[in-house]
Amino acid sequence: MINPHHSLIKLSDVIDCTFHNVAEAEQTLFHYIEVYCNRQRKHSTNGYKAPAQYELEWWDDRKAA
């Protein structure tokens, strides 16, 4: 789940965009949430690591055990 304050701040970057249709707006928001927030943005709940990095380390720890 994304921090509500962070989403409002970053949403301001999207508000200045001009979308030609709903599909274009949906694609931009999906890309922001799925690619940036869920994979790249560091989260305090997992030791300030990007989720993709955290998951990779989690799997590596399971293989080593």
Per domain, the residue ranges of the chain are 4-64
d(CA 62, CA 65): 5
User: Predicted confidence band at 11 (pLDDT cuts at 50, 70, 90)?
Assistant: low
d(CA 8, CA 48): 20
Please write the tens of the pLDDT for every residue from 13-52.
666 778 899 999 888 888 877 877 777 777 788 888 888 8
Q: For the residues 9-15, what does the mean pLDDT come to?
A: 61
Beta-carbon contacts of 33 under 8 Å, excluding residues fewer than 6 positions away, are 2
Closest to 29 measured CA to CA, from 14, 12, 19: 14
